Amino acid sequence: MKRIKIVVAYDGTDYCGWQIQPNGITVEEVLNRAVCKVTGEEIHVIGASRTDSGVHALGNVAVFDTESSIPGDRMAYALNRKLPEDIVVVSSEEVPLSWHPRYQDGITKTYEYYIYNAKAPDPLKRRYSTFVSFPLDVENMRKGASYLIGEHDFASFCNVRTNASDTVRRIDSIEVCADGTDIIIRVTGNGFLYNMVRIIAGILIRVGRGFYTPEKVRNILEAKERTAEGVTAPPNGLTLVEIRYPEIE
């Protein structure tokens, strides 16, 4: 028996998120099918991040155990021959059987939220960015984002349906980058609550439009309570870029 770690990229537009559920096709379900076809075994992958419906990824991580003779570093090639074009295994490797994608010390995750800020939408960007027609003050968005850096109770920044008992998380950095009509909010931290990055993006968009002052972000954070003041940005603008782990021993 060996454990294979895979890094997975996908266009989440046509999927009901990562995790298997009864109301639609998911990324996890499609991966399970591919792994079963390649190995001839009944296998269920274990994912690192359960992205929501419509959310994309460049670097989600999963593992599975197999008796297959296919070398770890060749598993990506074998799986990609069985996967649709909108799901790709970027890399694969064998890891210790005890290695788990969610239960590791020192994990950091990076998400990017893409905004297309122009007078008219671009049909070529509609799947991967959120369209905002009103001008956004990027500098004010940066000021508002700065209040979120560090370890805080992010209860105000999670969906009311979250089942997390601990809402304290650490954000290492937030960048708001602008290049013409493209604005990217890049967030890195040790973990994120349900809808947390999309709520951060929604609130920063309100700051950019002038509905909120930058200081309003601090007030929302300190309230530690999910209220109507927080807006959840659409899922299509969000991409899980990378999950970083300490070196595997």
Asked if 114 and 234 sit in the same domain, the reply is yes
pLDDT at 249 over 60: no
Closest CA to 91 of 134, 58, 69: 58
- Let me know: does 116 contact 131? Beta carbons within 8 Å: yes
Residues classed as catalytic:
52
Residues with Cβ within 8 Å of residue 152, at least 6 apart in sequence: 168, 169, 170, 171, 221
> What is the rounded average pLDDT for all residues in the chain?
94
The model's pLDDT over 85-124, given as tens digits with 9 standing for 90+, comes to 999 999 999 999 999 999 888 999 999 999 999 999 999 9
How many structural domains are present in the chain? 2
Mean pLDDT across 183-204:
96
Tokens of 110: 């990076």
pLDDT at 131 over 60: yes
Question: 203: helix, coil or strand?
Answer: helix
**How far apart are alpha carbons 57 and 61 in whole angstroms?**
10
Asked if 162 and 55 sit in the same domain, the reply is no
Domain holding 167: CATH number?
3.30.70.660
Residue 102 lies in a domain: no
Residue 101 lies in a domain: no
> 73 is in which domain, residue-wise?
2-95
Tokens of 23: 């109301």
Residue 113 lies in a domain: yes
Asked if 147 and 177 sit in the same domain, the reply is yes
Question: 74: helix, coil or strand?
Answer: helix
**How far apart are alpha carbons 132 and 79 in whole angstroms?**
38
Query: What is the pLDDT, as a whole number, of residue 229?
Result: 64
The model's pLDDT over 35-86, given as tens digits with 9 standing for 90+, comes to 999 999 999 999 999 999 999 999 999 999 999 999 999 999 999 999 999 9
pLDDT band with cut points at 50, 70 and 90 for residue 159: confident
Asked if 31 and 131 sit in the same domain, the reply is no
Residue 51 lies in a domain: yes
Asked if 121 and 238 sit in the same domain, the reply is yes
- Let me know: does 62 contact 48? Beta carbons within 8 Å: yes
Asked if 159 and 36 sit in the same domain, the reply is no
Tokens of 34: 């591919």
